[in-house]
Amino acid sequence: MSFWDESTFSPISYRQIVRTYSAKKFLSYFGLSVFEFECIHSALQLLSPIWTGKENLWDSKTALLVYVAWLRAFDLDILEERFGWSKGRCLRIMKTLKHQIYRQWIHLLDLRCPDNHIITRRRMDYYEAAFRRETGVPNYWGSTDCSVDPTRMRDRDDQRWVRIGHTWLDGWKMQVTLTPDGIVWLKGPYNGFHHDPYVEAETSFANWAEEHAKSQDGRQLVLCGMQRHGMSPAIVSPFDNSKLSEEQSIGLEENLDRLEWSISNISRRWRRFRDYWTPRAGGIVCDTPNCKIGRDFLSTDYKVATLLWNALTCLRGNEISIAMGCNPPGLFEYFSPSGLVLPWVLPDPEHRDSGINIKLPH
């Protein structure tokens, strides 16, 4: 069968798959329950049908399911077999869907974006209360670091050889911030061969945190980071702070470890980005020719996958939110339009939440 021959295929829709697959099989294949998939699809507000401009029409639910299967490391041959579309059609639909999600919601990964409606002073107080309960250290609201994401597939401009320990890899670098509710924030990518202070200078992240990371009463709130951020009062390292007790330093070090967990959790959930070389860092390794969609940068896929990870966190929580006792925003609060400010009541700071918003049906 020719790669582009679409005349002999029998397309299978999302509704047919739901009727055919058991709930356990659906969850095993796609990493989401049917209920979670329906909620995320509704929150993304996708245009339907998805049209590529080459007479390829697909309803948005089926297109999103194909993309989720792709992120779960299904190769093109399996997609062709399971969904009944040719490899070329799958590629075109996934590329169109991915860019639609990217253009509409990418601002939700950027802490500094003016359209970001999640990070407010009221919610920062909520984060600070969670940090204070778990570590005993006041005025901290999150953790930040830079992550090197290696890939075996060489891209055009945003990947360079980067050294990790004794190994040289293709890779690019992301600036990652984690809040106690388990939501991951990304900025990048940057050339992987640059050191972290270069990324900090490019993003001016410390300056932004110093100006905007304030409580409702005007106190300066602090991120847990590394010495590479310099002498900023808004990003403090647990390894170089004489004002902290030993117990407090250990608590902040554990939160830096949780940042690494969150990065690795993304690659564990979406196996397309599974890292076999540096599993602790949760980087990206793709060793198959089907790793990229067309000529698009892999980093775009990673950002969209992180958006889907955050959406899943809004529904079911994750290890971070449960450990910190800090509920993530609701799914439709997270994906609400930037101009719409939803009323949100600050919970009792002394009360430890479950870290999970709703109990999902089986």
Residue 68: the pLDDT is 95
Neighbouring residues of 139: CB distance < 8 A, sequence distance ≥ 6: 128, 215, 219, 220, 221, 222
Residue 135: the pLDDT is 78
- Is the domain of 125 the same as that of 103? no
Residue 171: the pLDDT is 60
Q: Lowest-confidence range among 40-44, 192-196, 265-269?
A: 192-196
- Is the domain of 175 the same as that of 69? no
- Is the domain of 253 the same as that of 179? yes
Mean pLDDT estimate for the chain: 76
Has residue 8 been placed in a domain? no
Has residue 185 been placed in a domain? yes
- Is the domain of 135 the same as that of 263? yes
Tokens 């388990």 map to which residue?
A: 182
214-250 per-position pLDDT tens digit: 988 888 998 887 755 556 778 877 766 556 666 666 6
Has residue 280 been placed in a domain? yes
Q: Pick from 243, 271, 293: which residue ends a domain?
A: 293
- Is the domain of 103 the same as that of 214? no
Answer yes or no: is pLDDT of 340 > 70.
Answer: no
How far is C-alpha 356 from the chain's CA centre?
A: 17
50-96 per-position pLDDT tens digit: 887 766 778 899 999 999 999 998 888 888 888 888 888 888 888 88
Give the number of other CB atoms < 10 A from CB of residue 58.
27
- Is the domain of 215 the same as that of 271? yes
Q: What are the DSSP calls for 131-165, one per residue?
A: HHHHHS-TTEEEEEEEEEEE-SS--SSS-EEEEET
User: Domain limits at 82?
Assistant: 14-107
- Is the domain of 99 the same as that of 165? no
Which of the given ranges, 31-40, 145-154, 267-276, has the highest pLDDT on average?
Answer: 31-40
CA–CA gap between residue 312 and residue 90 (Å, rounded)? 24
Bridge partners for 161 per DSSP:
170
159-218 per-position pLDDT tens digit: 444 444 444 455 667 888 899 999 999 887 776 556 666 777 777 888 888 888 898 888
- Is the domain of 157 the same as that of 247? yes
- Is the domain of 233 the same as that of 132? yes
Has residue 142 been placed in a domain? yes
Which DSSP letter does residue 277 get? S
Has residue 125 been placed in a domain? yes
- Is the domain of 146 the same as that of 276? yes
Name the domain count of the chain: 2
Q: Pick from 272, 293, 314: which residue ends a domain?
A: 293
- Is the domain of 180 the same as that of 83? no
Name the pTM for this structure. 0.83
* Average pLDDT over every residue of 302-323: 91
Confidence tier at 294 by pLDDT (50, 70, 90): very low
Instruction: State how far the alpha carbon of 179 is from the alpha carbons of 165, 185, 324, 361, in Å.
Output: 28, 8, 10, 27
Phi, psi of 326 (to 5 degrees): -130, 115
Q: Pick from 107, 137, 166: which residue ends a domain?
A: 107
